[in-house]
Amino acid sequence: MRAKLQTPKKTPVLALVTLALVASAALPQSPDSILPGPKPSDIPLPWKPWIGEYGSPGEQFLGNTYALSEKGGEIWILQREGKAGEASYKPVEQFALNQPPPIDASHNLRLHWDPSGEHRVLVVGDVRNVKLTPNANAPQQVLIKPVRPVEELRAEALAASPPLEKGPFRKPDLVELAPLDPTMHLEIRYATSNDFLGTPVYSQARAFLQRPAAEALLRALRKLKPLGYGLLIHDAYRPWYVTKIFWDATPPEGKI
C-alpha cells in the first residue's frame, strides 16, 4: 500500500544517506531483491584507530596530507597532493594486516601519540602529521573555526535573497522523510553542535525531499529491509540561507 506523504511548502535539494544496521525481522525476498556479497574482514584492532587522514591542522586544504586506509586486505599509506578536484594520490608504503603499526623510531614512517597524549601522529621522515579525521567516539567533529559568529551570519543570510536563476525548475513538493517508515532514522548534525562549525545551524532536526526522490528512497528502503538494513539520513533539503551561512563562515583557504 502506498504511504501517504505529507507536503510542506519548501524547495528540494539533495539527501545524503548512509546505510546503518538495524534490528529488522527477516522478510521474504522478491526475485529482484538485493543480494549481499560476502562480508569483508574487519580491520584488525591495532590498526583501526589509526585509519584516517593526517596533515597540518588548518592547512588540510592547502598542503599535502596522508591517507591511511585498508584496501584489498592490506594497509596503505597514500600521499595526497593538490586541492580537492585536482588531488592525486601516490602510494608511500603498505603493510600486511597481520603486521603491527610501525612505532620504531628507526622506521622512516611511524605512528605514535603526541606528547600530550591527545592526538595521533603520523611521522614521515622528520615531519609530524596530526590525525585530521575525528575519531568515531569524538564528542564534536569541529573542523573549522567560523570567521564570524554564526548568529551574525544567520541574521544576514535570512535578510538576503537567493541569486535569480532561470530554467525549467520543478515546482516545490517536499515530503518529510521520518514519518514514512520507522526504520528511516535521522542524524541531522547541522541541527546540533556536533558539526563542522561547532554550533547548530538548522533550527530543527528534520529532513525533507522532493516527492519523487522521497518515494524512490522509500522503495530502496523496502529492498534493504530483508537484509536487516535501514536508512540513516544525515542531510536532505537545505534552505538557501543555510548554504550561505556555511559559505560565509568558512575561511578563504577552505573554499574551493
H or E element in which residue 93 lies: strand 88-96
| pLDDT above 80 (res 96) | yes
Residue 176 cell numbers, joined: 518529510
Higher-scoring residue by pLDDT: 221, 56: 221
- State residue 1's pLDDT score: 40
- Band the pLDDT of 139: cuts 50, 70, 90: low
Q: How far apart are CA 170 and CA 211, in angstroms?
A: 11
Give the mean model confidence (pLDDT) for residues 101-114: 86
Task: Look at residues 64, 90, 86, 88 and name the one whose alpha carbon lies nearest to residue 77.
Answer: 90
| pLDDT above 90 (res 72) | no
Give the mean model confidence (pLDDT) for residues 204-219: 96
Q: How many helices (H) and strands (E) does the chain have?
A: 3, 12
Q: How far apart are CA 101 and CA 47, in angstroms?
A: 6
CB 180 within 8 A of CB 219: no
Residue 50 cell numbers, joined: 589509526
Rg, C-alpha atoms of the chain? 22
